[in-house]
Structure 1
């Protein structure tokens, strides 16, 4: 793994989805740390917040909503872009998050194209030479 590759925190409670999404992001050239709950994500952000290029958060987490976690991260680390991943429509996003230019939305299920698009909207470019 390239230690110079951008680091992403992926917050997803469902293990199968977490592994698949982490693999997809690694295939795009990112280093990925994962968290299965808001509590675990908060601990990681407290420890490494500024190191993350972006935090991708599932909207439905078991211990707290992804929207609440995103707002907490925005309050403490306004420099870190956030992507909300959800099977719900983007219109269901909280207005404070929807109006924040540093917050993107990624509809589930997602693939390479969707991830690349939302990251590009946040100014995070993917090295296309890494794509299969």
Structure 2
């Protein structure tokens, strides 16, 4: 059993309020009709196990979750940043949450990396209440 809650009636959003896209997507998720839980990684510590689970759910390596082209990353790690191991990447995400490349949404057993607010639409099923079946 994983450490990330899997609920088909709730969207869990992992984002950083320290970057613009995180703030935008958080507002978009909050305005949806679906029940949601927002985890602001700049205020709430996400464990190493949870980072591994998020990366696995996205079928990615943890280093793929980091914005390695971000100026703050390049200033500290430069080109050697490409050679970081999994533990180093977890520490970066925990200590430098604004380096999360894209917010991550989890709904039931689906994981989606949200590159922009429009990509959140993939996660929302159409609301067919009040429509007659034809």
Structure 1 length as normaliser, TM-score? 0.37
Quick check: which one's strand share is greater? 1
Bigger RCO of structures 1 and 2 (CA < 8 A, at least 6 apart) = 2
TM-score, normalised to structure 2, is 0.36
